[in-house]
Homo-oligomer: A and B are copies of this chain.
């Protein structure tokens, strides 16, 4: 009898707990207007829902896990994920074996496709809140690359006041990660809103941000295997001259920064070290050029010995900034760790920021930009 009472009590508690969790679900902030699903609760779980009356199996596919959804009498399938890290995650639905975007969300480019996203609220979402402060503009710029012989596109953030002043501004070249594109930083990355807020609060200098596409190959590059990237060439010979020609930039290394996330951190570090006459500020968010290795770095051979004369490198750079989420998976912690060890050994100063409770995802990179942008172009 006592056992039965315990069980009853447990069941009641469990039911109550479930009920409370369900009441706590709210529509995600990146849903399409008027769409009630997907939803998120305070524990960071997401709940998806879709009408699929004739389906026999519907799954919610997020973070590498497929969660079974269940059908009600009207043919509406509902399912919840385990708690997710705060921030933005790509996900999809799987309907009888078909992987498709959730019709409830806006769409974002990542994981090599346009697809659904969900936003798990974080305590520091105010860094990209749409506040009543002066807002910069995001400009879509189409250009033909003579190097790749293809049309390319970038997005350019112009700070508040740009359109109505004659002022010149420093420039940050800011790159996305692998399987992402030039849309990421001003969409799920909120680079524009982060800068608007920092500038309004007097925490960052007004600056131009150029967000380009890190994939660039010669038209005649072999289709088999991994083609050689010509992104550095495009950046140096096309993107920077075009930016300096079309916008009111301060066109020297003292007013030029380059940064990127993951693949973009790797790429921009190489570009920086090959072109220290062009850039004086660096930011590497969740990545370094020794990726994916975690081995101790041989400074004589790494990037053709670019870091071998530590003192000269240190003198030349105004800022060498690294950031990483505390929950990043292998190989990032050890690979970035090996890189830091090399900097320490060479006596090169750097900043290292850790994003608490986030992995290799956009909330880490939003925080990185928020921290990094405050250190740029200080006189």
The docked-state distance in angstroms from the alpha carbon of A141 to that of B192 is 11
Q: How far is the CB of A235 from chain B (nearest CB, A)?
A: 20
Choose among B75, B100, B135 the residue that contacts A97 (Cβ–Cβ < 8 A).
Answer: B75
Query: How many chain copies does the complex carry?
Result: 2
The docked-state distance in angstroms from the alpha carbon of A106 to that of B142 is 18
Among A93, A135, A247: residue with most chain B CB under 10 A: A135
Residues of chain B lying within 8 A (CB to CB) of residue A56: 54, 56, 96
Given the interface contacts A107-B107, A114-B107, A247-B163, does A53 sit within 8 Å of B141 by beta carbon? Answer: no
Q: Is the CB of B130 within 8 A of A103?
A: no
Residues of chain B lying within 8 A (CB to CB) of residue A103: 92, 99-101, 113, 115
The docked-state distance in angstroms from the alpha carbon of A337 to that of B80 is 54
Q: How does the 8 Å CB contact mask read for A128-160 relative to B, with 1 for contact and 0 for none?
A: 001010010111111110000001000000000
Interface residue tally for chain A (C-beta within 8 Å): 45
Q: Is the CB of A55 within 8 A of B100?
A: no
Is the CB of A32 closer than 8 A to any CB of chain B?
yes
Choose among B32, B137, B186 the residue that contacts A114 (Cβ–Cβ < 8 A).
Answer: B32
Is the CB of A246 closer than 8 A to any CB of chain B?
yes
Residues of chain B lying within 8 A (CB to CB) of residue A53: 96-97
Q: Is the CB of A140 within 8 A of B138?
A: yes
Q: Is the CB of A137 within 8 A of B130?
A: no
